[in-house]
Amino acid sequence: MIDAIFAHLPILLIVLPLMAAPCCVLVGNGRAAYLLALVVSFAAFACSVAMLGETLQHHVVRYELGNWSPPYGIEYRVDIFSGFVMAFVSGIGAIVLVYAPLSVRDEIPASKHYLFYATYLLCMTGLLGMCVTGDLFNVFVFLEISSLSSYALISLGRTRRAPLAAFQYLILGSIGATFILIGIGLLYQMTGTLNMADIAARVPHEHGPRTVLVAFAFLTVGLCVKMAVFPLHTWLPNAYTYAPSVVTCFIAATATKVSVYAFVRLIFGIITPGFAFDVLPLDTELMLFSLVGIFIASIAAIYQNNVKRLLAYSSVAQIGYMLLGISMATPTGLSAGIVHMFNHALIKGGLFMVAGCFALRLGSVQLSDWKGAGRTMPLTAIAWAIGGLALIGVPMTAGFISKWLLLTSAFETGRWPIAVLMLVSSLLAVVYVWKVVETLFFSEPSEAAAGATEAPLRMLIPTYLLIGATLLFGVWTPYSAGIARQAAIVLLGGTP
Amino acid sequence: MSPDHLIWISLALPLLAVGLIVLFGKSPDLRDGASGTVAGLLLIVVASLSIGVFSGKRPEWHLGEMLPGFEIAFRVEPLGMLFALVASGLWILTTAYAVGYMRGHHEIHQTRFFACFAIAIFAALSAAFSANLFTLFVAYEVMTISTYPLVTHHGTDEAKRGGRIYLGILLSTSIAFFMLAIVWTWSLAGTLDFQLGGILSTAVAENRISQTGLGVLIGLFTFGIGKAALMPFHRWLPAAMVAPTPVSALLHAVAVVKVGVFSVMKVCVYIFGLELLRETGVSLYLAYVAGFTLVVASLVAMTKDNLKARLAYSTIGQLAYITLGAMLATPNSVIGGGMHIAMHAVGKITLFFCAGAIYVAAHKKNISDMEGLGRKMPFTFAAFLIASVSIIGLPPGGGAWSKWFLALGTVETHQYLLTAALMVSSLLNIAYLVPIPMRAFMKPSKSEDESESETGNWFSNMQEAPAMCVVPLCVTAIGSVVLFFAAQWIYQALLPITAMPS
Amino acid sequence: MTFESIAGLYNYWVVIFLMMTGFYIVLARKNLIKSVIGLNIFQTSVFLLYITMGKVEHGTAPIVPPAIAEQQSHASHGVGENAHAAIEHADEAHEVVHEVAHEVALTVADHGGELAHASTEIIYSNPLPSVLMLTAIVVGIATTALALALVVRIREDYGTVDEELILELDRGE
């Protein structure tokens, strides 16, 4: 029995939330739907952790869908990298659900609760599916599943701007997805197959024909929209700002990371890094856009008065750090990028949870309403301070680990100007994080803050789970940086 | 008990103190008692550790790798040992003093205050014992963060502004310069371990870094270690004076600033190696920056009427002495710098204690208001005078020896301009320190209640601060004299760090 | 590039024309409904791109005529059977299957199944792109439906579907 379950882990991971979503709709009751979603998300988390364990032992776990052998059938193919991403995506998905009910009750009309949880599960399905599948077209399908559900989730926001933000995201996201579809089509035209490993074996590398170039260009641009790489990030600030708090927590922590995953897969799994970085100058371009993005987005974050928007701009900047690491294409650089995906998911998830706690108690995410809230809600405010320090990259926090790896990889490849710029840019993070810290602790309490009480434990505990994890993974890294390094080595064609 | 165990015990004790302080937060007596007891235990542990270290042992303790190749490890050598002794010894006195001060002042958030304090001590010890740059950096940053709540303790707008400058300068220099320098060093040497004779000589021999490169690297280190308060990155120190006085005393005379100069010395001795610095002369320009800093800081100190601000600028100047010693990189100058860490710590903490005691007893912050106060607070001002003598560098103050060795260093390297700077600065020290106790004793008081204070014997006229404040400052004042006679011992202890690697 | 090669690729020209038209409408139109329509045109062009690449010259719909299917099942079990058997024993003969599989896939894609059945000599088009597009069409419909639903809500809240007016309303807040 156990063996049978283990043999079918990859598909279970997808089927569980996928099937649970319509069940949520069928039960039609918010509370029951919540319980179902909670159980399923933890089951998915357990599955993905089990699978990560498998991949650490065997490097690759294959699963042939319907017993059709690849490249005809769809193959699910999980290696250390995908196992790692899946584990933290499903883990954060589960923790956010623990956090969710009070915030959802506050922000979303009761009649829509069961639909909310159903959509949430669908979004999770899509994200996990993108990681698990080894079939390129399947990636597109799962991408659309996750995107469509996230548009719907965002539109549930309290204000009338939420549907508009969702609509803008939908338009840009669909264009991005369609670009990806075009790219997939062109690659299929060249190779006659959709299996990623198979494409990698067949795509002409050295002086690839123009079709491959065009395909690669379309895929890159499409994924960059989804990753919110500067200057294709315009959908992100509004979407994060106006979405319900819970949705922002989940999407900010996972959605862009999974797109980064797909991008890494594209470069290292389909097109070789030799093609992307040596034949094409993609590395220089990525670094340029990342650095410009880091600076502009960080500066933009400094001037925000809406905390969720501030964090959103910071997310755009942080994506830049991940891409910087990836574009180094060395084991250290790539593992820095990968581990930053994880660390940033923890940090940003935690910070948005803090924002959600304040939103619940103060009814606003405007900085002016948060004044002095550190006095009445000290635990929540301290969580912000810790998360903020991690975002800056202070030692003993997870952010430091990724920053340190990035720095060492920049020096390893002799790109010290990048190291300098990176460090300078993290000073900007000090400014925008500290602006909020000072408002929380050193201002006369605003009306809302003066009457506020500490956030409920049911929200504080999951928040501190993530914030605590940023501290834990700041000093103990075998399961963050260690796994990321193994994943990077496998991606670069070595054996860990 | 083996010395290796003593390392982790001495690191664990401050953390234990944090736990106890938070646990006993509700009952102040129990909390402060626990804090003091742990401080006493710590001194015993550190002292017993020092016996082994000064007799040539180098105990080690490896906590584990934080990242592959980057280890959190501790290895005790004489310089760190001296610093740890100073920090843990003064912690006891500061705890006693802080209890008196904080209660006398009815300060709020005392639990948070003492907890952050203990964390800062933990960070100081970790830095002192660190076996590699990575550990040192982590400890350095932990200290920055843990002292921020102390600086902004009052929560006023002024505290907020001060805290902003404090954190802004310390965090940004450490991230932008210090961290960069560490990673650069790592890429050159392939290791970050502190080794006698330095770890960069191979890279230099293989021409992987030019002279200019070396100069830039040591500049990144020296300015990146913002806690050393070398101009132009000194503004945080005066800004941090908004903190309650015990904080200024321990953190801005001992722990924080001394971690700064200690790190600078450690980098010079164990990363670059004195020989390399002397041969290439790349650090000489920093010696001049330090010389400039010590003269200018003394000049600025003279213009300050607020006592704590004057002491802050005095600290900046005195720190520059130590940096100067490290940058000259001769055995005498390095020993002088190392000695000055101890001498200045004991002297300056006395001065800060006095400033706090004056504030508690007489609510006076400005020097011009202190005339005639000496008759009311004779112990405080006597201690002030003794400590001033030590800071200035006159016998029988401990500072005489350290400044002597530093001056020797400048002469040995034929940097007579720097010798002159040292002398001028010492004169300026006299000018801004000595008049304070002199005017307090000699000049008549300006206040109206003078008439009544003139009656009766001198003892009944005394309006000293609480005993918890006065006793520690007397102890440290005596300490700065004792150090004058103990200098030989410190010299012997520090001698191994100037040795050539065998 | 001769005129013939340009004209011969007319289906691609159509695709590109539609693609650019759709893209332009999405970006340039401020009316939300029109952006949705533009998005639809854009997506449709991609459907055409896929279908056009699946078409093999002189190929017929990839459905085996009933007569031949019958004949096959009686007479030679030929290639199909072999491949099927091989797949069944995939574990033992993994490599072989891979090779055979690629052969078949490639030939189907490139030459329209010359190898398919020597006896029948029927050329089939590649069915896979059309199948993919079925999925993509479903996705497109879902996107359109969701977009229109959002537009309805926006219109309820703002009373207009003009993006510029909406932004002005937001600024006025």
Mean pLDDT of the B181-189 span: 90
Mean pLDDT of chain B: 85
A148 Cβ contact partners less than 8 Å away, ≥ 6 residues apart = A122, C139, C142, C143, C146
Is the distance from CB of A333 to CB of A413 less than 8 angstroms?
yes
**How far, in Å, are B21, B119, B124, B260 from residue B50 at the CA level?**
27, 22, 16, 21
CA distance B198 to B192: 10
Number of structural domains (chain A) is 1
% pLDDT > 70, chain A = 99
CB of B108 within 8 Å of a chain A CB? The answer is: no
**Residue A453 placed within a domain:** yes
Q: Place B457 in a pLDDT band, splitting at 50, 70 and 90.
A: low
**A-chain residues near C153 (CB < 8 A):** 155, 163
- pLDDT of B455 over the 60 cut: no
- pLDDT of A310 over the 90 cut: yes
- Sign of CA pseudo-dihedral A465, A467, A472, A477: positive
| Partner residue facing C46 (CB), from A72, A182, A188 | A182
Contact A171 C90 (CB under 8 A): no
CB of B138 within 8 Å of a chain A CB? The answer is: yes
| Partner residue facing A170 (CB), from C106, C146, C170 | C146
**Residue B487 placed within a domain:** yes
Q: Identify the bridge partners of residue B67 per DSSP, sorted by sequence position.
A: B70
B330: left (phi > 0), else alpha (psi -120 to 50), else beta?
beta
Radius of gyration of chain B (CA): 22
Full residue range of the structural domain in which residue A379 is found: 281-496
Q: Within 10 A of B45 (CB to CB), how many other CB atoms are there?
A: 21
Contact A163 C102 (CB under 8 A): no
Mean pLDDT of the C117-134 span: 78
Contact yes or no, A with B (3+ CB pairs under 8 Å)? yes
**B-chain residues near A424 (CB < 8 A):** 176
**Residue A26 placed within a domain:** no
Contact C26 A189 (CB under 8 A): no
- pLDDT of B140 over the 70 cut: yes
**Residue B131 placed within a domain:** no
Contact C150 A167 (CB under 8 A): yes
Is the distance from CB of C109 to CB of C126 less than 8 angstroms?
yes
**Residue A493 placed within a domain:** yes
Q: Identify the three-state secondary structure at position B61.
A: strand
Shortest Cα distance, chain B CAs vs residue A304, angstroms = 19
- pLDDT of A339 over the 70 cut: yes
Q: Within 10 A of B152 (CB to CB), how many other CB atoms are there?
A: 25
In terms of average pLDDT, the best of A95-99, A271-275, A420-424, B311-315 is: A95-99
Shortest Cα distance, chain A CAs vs residue C63, angstroms = 18
**Residue A86 placed within a domain:** no
Contact A404 B67 (CB under 8 A): yes
Contact A155 C46 (CB under 8 A): no
CA A188 to chain centroid, in Å, comes to 28
Contact A394 B145 (CB under 8 A): yes
Residue A170: closest C-alpha in chain C: C147
Shortest Cα distance, chain A CAs vs residue B456, angstroms = 48
pLDDT of residue C90: 44
CA distance C125 to C121: 13
CB of C101 within 8 Å of a chain A CB? The answer is: yes
Residue with the bigger pLDDT between B320 and C55: it is: B320
- Sign of CA pseudo-dihedral B372, B376, B379, B383: negative
- pLDDT of B478 over the 50 cut: yes
Q: Place C91 in a pLDDT band, splitting at 50, 70 and 90.
A: very low
Burial annotation A456-490 (CB, 10 A radius, 16+ → b, else e)? eeebbebbbbbbebbbebbbebeebbbbbbbbbbb
**Residue B379 placed within a domain:** yes
**Residue B423 placed within a domain:** yes
Tokens 């350095």 belong to residue:
B140
pLDDT (tens digit per residue) in A353-397: 999 999 999 988 899 899 888 888 989 999 999 999 999 998 889
% pLDDT > 90, chain B = 12
CA distance A64 to C97: 14
Q: Place A205 in a pLDDT band, splitting at 50, 70 and 90.
A: low
Mean pLDDT of the A115-119 span: 94
Return the partners of chain B (3 or more C-beta pairs < 8 Å). A
In terms of average pLDDT, the best of A127-131, A409-413, B204-208 is: A127-131
Contact C135 A151 (CB under 8 A): no
- The domains located in chain C, with CATH, are 1-55+126-173 (1.10.287.3510), 75-125 (no CATH)
Question: By C-alpha distance, which of C62, C84, C59, C89 is closest to C73?
Answer: C84
Contact A69 C90 (CB under 8 A): yes
Instruction: Supply the DSSP symbol for A64.
Output: E
**Residue B300 placed within a domain:** yes
Contact C49 A166 (CB under 8 A): no
- Sign of CA pseudo-dihedral C78, C79, C84, C90: positive
Helix (H) or strand (E) holding B411: helix B399-412
Shortest Cα distance, chain A CAs vs residue C67, angstroms = 26
Would strands A60-64 and B70-75 be described as parallel, antiparallel, or unpaired? unpaired
Q: Within 10 A of B257 (CB to CB), how many other CB atoms are there?
A: 27
For chain B, the 3-state helix, strand and coil shares in percent, each to the nearest 5, are: 75, 5, 20
Give C 133-162 residues with CB within 8 A of chain A: 135-136, 139, 142-143, 146-147, 150-151, 153-154, 157-158
CA distance C118 to A47: 49
Burial of C120 (0-12, 13-18, 19+ CB in 10 A): middle
Contact A185 C32 (CB under 8 A): no
**Torsion from C-alpha of A284, A286, A290, A296, nearest 10 degrees:** 90
CB of B167 within 8 Å of a chain A CB? The answer is: yes
Question: By C-alpha distance, which of B383, B337, B313, B302 is closest to B498?
Answer: B337
Can you tell me the ipTM of this complex? 0.91
pLDDT of residue A300: 94
Contact A137 C135 (CB under 8 A): yes
Burial annotation B354-367 (CB, 10 A radius, 16+ → b, else e)? bbbbbbbbbeeeeb
> How many interface pairs between A and C have CB atoms less than 8 angstroms apart?
86
pLDDT (tens digit per residue) in A233-252: 999 999 999 999 999 999 99
**C-chain residues near A65 (CB < 8 A):** none
Of A167, A198, A211, which to mutate for an interface test with C (greatest number of C Cβ within 10 Å)?
A167
Contact yes or no, C with A (3+ CB pairs under 8 Å)? yes
Mean pLDDT of the B204-215 span: 86
pLDDT of residue A206: 61
- pLDDT of C118 over the 70 cut: no
pLDDT of residue B277: 87
pLDDT of residue C76: 53
- Of the listed ranges A147-161, B453-467, C16-30, the least confidently predicted one is B453-467
- Sign of CA pseudo-dihedral B433, B437, B442, B443: positive
Mean pLDDT of the A401-415 span: 90
pLDDT of residue A399: 92
- pLDDT of B484 over the 50 cut: yes
Q: Within 10 A of C93 (CB to CB), how many other CB atoms are there?
A: 15
Full residue range of the structural domain in which residue B459 is found: 283-496
**Residue B182 placed within a domain:** no
CA distance A34 to A40: 10
pLDDT of residue A478: 87
CA distance B158 to B12: 35
Question: What is B248-308 written as a DSSP string?
Answer: HHHIIIIIHHHHHHHHHHHIIIIII-HHHHHHH-TTHHHHHHHHHHHHHHHHHHHH--BHH
CB of B70 within 8 Å of a chain A CB? The answer is: yes
**A-chain residues near B145 (CB < 8 A):** 389, 394
Burial of A3 (0-12, 13-18, 19+ CB in 10 A): exposed
Q: Within 10 A of A176 (CB to CB), how many other CB atoms are there?
A: 24
pLDDT of residue C99: 52
**Residue A471 placed within a domain:** yes
Residue B184: closest C-alpha in chain A: A411
- pLDDT of C102 over the 70 cut: no
B5 Cβ contact partners less than 8 Å away, ≥ 6 residues apart = B61
Question: What is A324-350 written as a DSSP string?
Answer: HHHHH-SHHHHHHHHHHHHHHHHHHHH
pLDDT of residue B6: 85
Of A330, A434, A435, A489, which to mutate for an interface test with B (greatest number of B Cβ within 10 Å)?
A434
C104 Cβ contact partners less than 8 Å away, ≥ 6 residues apart = C79, C83, C115
Contact A404 B70 (CB under 8 A): yes
Shortest Cα distance, chain B CAs vs residue A475, angstroms = 6
- pLDDT of B93 over the 60 cut: yes
CB of C51 within 8 Å of a chain A CB? The answer is: no
- pLDDT of B391 over the 90 cut: no
Q: Place B501 in a pLDDT band, splitting at 50, 70 and 90.
A: low
Is the distance from CB of B342 to CB of B490 less than 8 angstroms?
yes
Helices B399-412 & B307-328, crossing angle to 10 degrees?
A: 40
**C-chain residues near A192 (CB < 8 A):** 105-106, 108-110
Beta-carbon-side half-sphere exposure of residue A182 (alpha carbons within 13 Å): 27
| Partner residue facing B175 (CB), from A426, A481, A485 | A426
Q: Place A183 in a pLDDT band, splitting at 50, 70 and 90.
A: very high
**Residue B349 placed within a domain:** yes
Shortest Cα distance, chain A CAs vs residue C70, angstroms = 25
Integer distance in angstroms from the first to the last C-alpha of chain A?
31
Contact A163 C153 (CB under 8 A): yes
- pLDDT of C144 over the 80 cut: yes
Of A330, A379, A408, which to mutate for an interface test with B (greatest number of B Cβ within 10 Å)?
A408
Q: Place A102 in a pLDDT band, splitting at 50, 70 and 90.
A: very high
Residue with the bigger pLDDT between C75 and A13: it is: A13
For chain A, the 3-state helix, strand and coil shares in percent, each to the nearest 5, are: 80, 5, 15
- pLDDT of A97 over the 90 cut: yes
B32 Cβ contact partners less than 8 Å away, ≥ 6 residues apart = B95, B99, B114
Instruction: Supply the DSSP symbol for B64.
Output: E
Shortest Cα distance, chain B CAs vs residue A174, angstroms = 40
- pLDDT of C152 over the 90 cut: yes
Phi, psi of A74 (to 5 degrees): -80, 130
Number of structural domains (chain B) is 1
Mean pLDDT of the A476-490 span: 90
- Of the listed ranges A20-24, B103-107, B258-262, the least confidently predicted one is B103-107
**A-chain residues near C109 (CB < 8 A):** 192
Is the distance from CB of B264 to CB of B221 less than 8 angstroms?
yes
Shortest Cα distance, chain A CAs vs residue B258, angstroms = 20
Is the distance from CB of B78 to CB of B489 less than 8 angstroms?
no
**Residue B380 placed within a domain:** yes
Mean pLDDT of the B422-443 span: 86
CA distance B340 to B345: 8
**A-chain residues near B68 (CB < 8 A):** 481-482, 485
The two tokens of residue B18 are 């944090």
pLDDT of residue B103: 77
**B-chain residues near A441 (CB < 8 A):** 152, 155
Return the partners of chain A (3 or more C-beta pairs < 8 Å). B, C
Question: What is B111-122 written as a DSSP string?
Answer: HHHHHHHHHHHH
Residue C163: closest C-alpha in chain A: A164
A203 Cβ contact partners less than 8 Å away, ≥ 6 residues apart = A187, A190, A191, A212, A270, A271
Radius of gyration of chain C (CA): 24
Mean pLDDT of chain A: 91
pLDDT (tens digit per residue) in C11-54: 888 999 999 999 999 988 889 999 999 999 999 999 999 988 88
The two tokens of residue A2 are 């156990």
